[in-house]
Each structure stands twice: as structure tokens, then as C-alpha cells.
Amino acid sequence: MKASILSLSAALVTLTAADNPIVQTIYTADPAPLVHEGRVYLYTGHDDDGATTFVMNDWRVFSSSDMVNWQDHGSPMSLKTFSWATAQAWAGQAVERGGKFYWYVPVRHFSGAMAVGVGVSDDGPTGPFRDAIGEPLVMNNEIDPTVFIDDDGQAYLYWGNPGLWYVKLNEDMVSYSGNVQQVTLTAEGFGPRQGGNGQRPTTYEEGPWLYKRNDTYYMLFAASCCSEHLGWSTGPSAEGPWTYGGVLMPTQGSSFTNHPGVIDFEGSSYLFYHNGALPGGGGYQRSVAVERFEYGADGSLPTLDMTDEGAPQVGTLDPYIRQEAETIAWSSGVETEPCSAGGINVWAIDNGDYIKVKGVAFVDGAVSFAASVASQSSGGRIELRLGSVDGTLVGTCDVPGTGGWQNWTEIECEVSGATGTQDLFFRFTGGGGELFRFDWWQFSQ
């Protein structure tokens, strides 16, 4: 573990029953969830450890089929993707159209103005993404794009702080027709602001999130400043007019910003947001979290508190198919990196670190455990424990030295006593320093 994360490990112990925040290996911000083919893809920003202002150089992608175990897909897009961008990899959103994925993001243009760029992936929701047009899509020194494709195929891009702006995107998703429109911010549309002024007359601040449910269009946003809360408005079309609905999430959670993202998945509705809840967290070390919610019968949104528990698990995790080591409900001390065997692996594994995988269904029991590991030192052990990090030990796998941190080998060990649906803990033990790295695992019944 890195020193900055190491110092947090004692505090992490008190959070082991939690599933929020979603990611513990890095600080994440500005969630943008997307449902695609039975999985939730979560696009986020990335706050640097220890930064004392916004230091954000890349974006990250995570995915889950159960809302609690999240697979890390690394960083398929960064400031370097946009040759004209110099800084500030801030709050974006991705959408699929015609089999391609378009990821709209605000960045600082070399002229000094904030601009919105668009990355495109031909290879699915986890990228890699390239700069679609080689220049800003829009540039008016405002930020935080949200993208929405209406049922008639018309796509909209909204963005803005302190204003709220939009364009109608063309079907190619990388150009637009007509003029850039500015929404008139009225108290009726976005709620009156205490101490509002000409530039910020309403609670609308930044981070818009546009979607449609039945025949109602929803505009969520980060509200007031600072600290922000989340607010919501509705309208009869994607171009409004907007009517203020109320507070979606009060000011909570030791980050002076927030950012909404809403999806429906497997019959439930979810709000993603961010706070400073990870140890060491705060306004510049934020973490993405999630809550499940229900709409009112009239389509209204509830007011949601931030929780440590997060959303309940959808279904269970199958231990009899290969699972990635970087599919994590909770972890302590470890980090992730690109793997020479493809994808991502877990690294920075020291004595006492652990990974929790939630709701693992040992429906047919288990007789053995296999894993892919690498170690440039003399390795260590993976203890397989159920229920908690100190829970029932059902197997111990020795990890040998393999001659390099990316020289992968498969290990196998016996398992007994793993039955039922269990929270599975990989507890790593060994000597001093980094022990080994961990790519994937699988049980056999």
C-alpha cells in the first residue's frame, strides 16, 4: 500500500460493514452511471491522493452486475486523449449510440477556457476512448456536460456553471445543429437561492443530469454553493420549461461539491453521488457512492440521505466462473494497475491487507480454489475467510515468488467448509513489504 493510503487503514477497519463508498483503491468523483447489456458501467473522475486543490488528470470506469461488487476497468481516457487539453479532467457522462460509446467531458483548453470534448470508443463501454473530433465540441468557459437521447432519436447535450446551456446533437453525436441555447434560470424552474445574484439567481449551480421517465423529463443538478446539495426539476420536454421539484440530497458528507447520476437497473432506481467519506476524504479527495430509491406515485423524487450501507445486492456472485481480483465490494490497503495478461490486476498487497467480495453463492460447496498471482519477492499467502476478515478460515493458498511482478502463475489449494451465500474475504499475509499481485480467482465444487 502507498503511504497516503496506509495511514488510512486503521480508520478503514471501522467501515468494513459498509459498501459505500464504492471504490476504496483511489479517490473517485463525479459519477456517471450507464446501463448496458445487464451491467452498470460507472464513469468517474479521479482525485489525486493528497492534493490540496482539484488535481484531476484522468477518468476511470468501473462496472457491476449486482450494485455491490465493482470491477475496476482502469483509465481508458485521460487528459492525454485530448491533445488540446491542458488540465481539469472534470465531470462527464457517457452514452451509447449505434454500437459506439461517446464520453463527453469538460477540460481546460490551451487558450485557458473550459471546453467540452468528446471521446469515442468502438470497442464497448470500457474503451479505450480516442478524441472523436480533435477539438472542443463546445467551448464557452462552462463545464459538466450531461447527454440524453430522446425516444425520437434527438440527442441533447446540456452543461454549465454558473449558467445552464444546451445544444441539439446531430445523429453522429459529435456535431450539433442550431445555436447554443441558454436556459433562463428562474426561481420557479430551479428554486430560489438564499443570497442569489445575477449570475446565480436560483439554486442551480452545476453538474446537470438529464433523463426521461415515462413522459416526464428530469433535470437533476448540484445546487447552491458551498457546500452543495442536490436538487431536481422536471419538464414536459427535453427543452423544458422546467419546474423546480425540491431537494434530492441535502448537504452532507464532507465534500463541498456533489454530482448526481440516476439509472434504473433490474427493476430498481439508483442515485449515484459523491462525498468525502473515505478515510482522508474531503473536498479534493472525493468518493463515489450509491443509494437505491423509489419515485413517488406522481413521479416525484424523494430526499435521500447518504449512507455507509449503500444499495442492496442484486442477486449473488458466482464463484465457479473466473472472477477478477479487481472485482471488489470493499478493500483495505490494495491498489490496481494494468495487467500484462490483459485487463487490470491488484497490486500493493502487504501483510494484513484484504479484499471483500459480497454475497458469493457457494450453492454446490467448494473443494478447491485457483488464482493467478505474480511475485518478484518471496510471495505470501491468501487466506480464504467467510463472513468477516477474521471469519471462518476455509482455505489457505501459498503464493510463491515468480521472478517478476508481472510474471503470472496459477496456484491452487484445497477448500473445505464453504457453503451457502457468504461474504468472502481474501486476507493477505506474509513478510514485510509488497508480497505479490493478484489477477483472477475461481472455486471448483
Q: Which residues are catalytic?
A: 49, 206
Nearer to ligand NAG, 179 or 214 (CB): 214
- By beta carbon distance, the residue nearest ligand NAG is 403
Residue ranges of E strands in 256-414: 261-265, 268-275, 287-293, 323-324, 327-328, 330-332, 335-338, 344-349, 354-362, 368-374, 380-386, 392-399, 409-414
Q: What is the maximum alpha-carbon separation in the chain?
A: 69
194 binds ligand NAG (CB under 6 A): no
Q: Can you tell me which of 39, 213, 292, 381 binds ligand NAG, judged by CB under 6 A?
A: 213
Strands (E), 92-199: 93-97, 100-109, 114-121, 130-131, 146-149, 155-159, 165-169, 176-182
Calculate the alpha carbon distances from 384 to 246, 413, 415, 416 in Å: 47, 10, 8, 10
Residue of 192, 236, 241, 403 that binds ligand NAG (CB under 6 A): 403
Name the residue nearer to ligand NAG (CB basis): 304 or 361: 304
Q: Is residue 192 part of the contact set for ligand NAG (CB under 6 A)? A: no
Contact status: 407 vs ligand NAG (CB under 6 A): yes
- Buried/exposed 287-306: b ≥16 CB within 10 Å, e otherwise: bbbbbbbeeeeeeebbebeb
Indicate whether 292 belongs to the interface with ligand NAG (CB under 6 A).
Answer: no
Residue number with CB closer to ligand NAG (315 or 403): 403
Say if CB 104 and CB 115 are below 8 A apart.
Answer: no
Q: Binding-site residue total for ligand NAG (CB under 6 A)?
A: 5
Residue among 180 and 341 whose Cβ is closer to ligand NAG: 341
Q: How far is the CB of 147 from ligand NAG (least distance, A)?
A: 20
Q: Is 214 in the site for ligand NAG (CB under 6 A)?
A: yes
Query: Which residue's CB is nearer to ligand NAG, number 53 or number 214?
Result: 214
Geometric angle at alpha carbon 141, from 139 and 142, rounded to 5°: 95
The Cα angle at residue 221 between residues 81 and 89, in degrees rounded to 5: 15
Q: Is 179 a binder of ligand NAG (CB under 6 A)?
A: no
Buried b (16+ CB within 10 A) or exposed e, 313-343: bbebbebeeebbbbbbbbbbbbbbbebeeeb
* Residue 296 interacts with ligand NAG (CB under 6 A): yes or no: no
Q: Which of 241, 338, 404, 431 binds ligand NAG (CB under 6 A)?
A: 404
| Stretch 96-115 residues interacting with ligand NAG (CB under 6 A) | none
Cβ atoms 93, 145 nearer than 8 A: yes
CB of residue 267 to ligand NAG, shortest distance in Å:
10
Q: How far is the CB of 295 from ligand NAG (least distance, A)?
A: 7
C-beta closer to ligand NAG: residue 368 or 409 = 409
Q: Which amino acid is at 413?
A: C
Indicate whether 342 belongs to the interface with ligand NAG (CB under 6 A): no
Please choose, out of 91-99, 305-313, 377-385, 399-407, the segment that lies near ligand NAG by the rule CB under 6 A: 399-407
Binding piece for ligand NAG, criterion CB under 6 A, among 8-16, 32-40, 47-55, 401-409: 401-409
Nearest to 34 by CA among 55, 61, 3, 13: 61
Q: Are 76 and 61 in contact (CB under 8 A)?
A: yes
Query: Using CA atoms, how far apart are residues 399 and 409, in angstroms rounded to an integer?
Result: 9
**Closest distance to ligand NAG from the beta carbon of 214 (Å):** 4
Q: Is 158 within 8 Å of 165 (Cβ atoms)?
A: yes
Residue nearer to ligand NAG on the CB measure, 362 or 408 = 408
Helix (H) or strand (E) holding 234: strand 229-235
- Contact window for ligand NAG (CB under 6 A) among 73-81, 193-201, 243-251, 403-411: 403-411
Residues near ligand NAG (CB under 6 A) are 213-214, 403-404, 407
